[in-house]
Amino acid sequence: MSWDDFAFAFFNLDIIREASPILIQGLVQTILLSLLVVPLGLFGGIVLALLSTVRNPLVRWPLIAWVDVFRALPPLVLLVFVYAGLPFAGLELPAWAAVAIGFFLNTGAYYGEILRAGIESVPRGQMEAARSTGLTRGQAMAYVVLPQAVRNVLPDLISNTLEVVKLTSIASVVALPELLYQARQAQSVTYNASPIVAAAVIYFIMLWPVVRLLSRLENRQLAAARG
């Protein structure tokens, strides 16, 4: 295969130019979807992490089961179950709502585990000192423990957020017109792979800075753990 054939099949500028309006629409959808599912997952994670500080076994064991089940199920399985399964129970959901529910269950469990580790990394004395100054338990948690917890696990939080943004690509399976879905549409109409290559380039440009940042943070963290 000559270079020209290769460029025609994968880096076809005419086709990319033609597909660019729908690719940009897809990119906008991907960004909007991320802005929906990341806060949703973080919210779920904070609730799970706060519940994990409760010592009562009636809270503790169901919580562990919940987190493990939703960490064990692949996100795509959850999404398909919600989108294709629930209509049989008379619950017909639009694609974006199915994505929101599936992501909430999955990424909430992951954020929850990270934040739980963060809360556990804050010394007990911090909570006790805060309480002794007259703060309520809730205030001490919100103003003293959580800020330190978040700082301690910041690399993991960023890393998980990167994974969540990448994961929005599975919404294409339930025909939500995000970036990958639009690229696939353009590819099947033009019978040329360039739109998919273009989508990959867009993802890379968008996420590379995050990957660089993470790589630095993680190296520093490992070096610190080693002491």
Partner 1 sequence: MTAWERFADSFFNARVAAEYLPKIIDGFWLTVVLALSIVVSGLAAGLLLALVRSLGVRPLNWLIIFVVDLFRALPPLVIITLLFFGLPAAGMELSGFASTWLALSLVLMAFSEEIFWAGITSVPKGQWEAARSTGLTFLQTLRLVVLPQAIRLTIPPLTNRTIAITKGTALASVVAVQEILGAANAGVSFSFNPTPLTLGALAYLVLFIPVVVFGRWVETRFAWRR
By CB under 8 A, name the binding residues for partner 1: 1, 6, 9-10, 68-69, 71-77, 80-81, 84-85, 88-89, 162-163, 166-170, 172-173, 180, 183-184, 187, 192-193, 196-197, 199-200, 203-204, 207-208, 210-212, 214-215, 218-219, 222-223, 225-227
Closer residue to partner 1 in complex, CB, 135/162: 162
Closer residue to partner 1 in complex, CB, 121/136: 121
Residue 93 φ/ψ, nearest 5 degrees:
-110, 145
**CB 167, min distance to partner 1, A:** 7
**CB 132, min distance to partner 1, A:** 26
**CB 5, min distance to partner 1, A:** 8
CA 34/CA 126 separation, integer angstroms: 34
CA 61/CA 150 separation, integer angstroms: 24
Closer residue to partner 1 in complex, CB, 137/166: 166
Closer residue to partner 1 in complex, CB, 9/46: 9
**CB 53, min distance to partner 1, A:** 18
**CB 137, min distance to partner 1, A:** 27
Residue 61 DSSP code: H
Closer residue to partner 1 in complex, CB, 83/140: 83
Which tokens belong to 90?
């008379």
Q: Report the sign of the C-alpha dihedral through residues 200, 203, 209, 210, in that order.
A: negative
CA 161/CA 182 separation, integer angstroms: 23
* Integer angstrom CA distances of residue 46 from 13, 184, 214: 45, 36, 22
CA 211/CA 105 separation, integer angstroms: 25
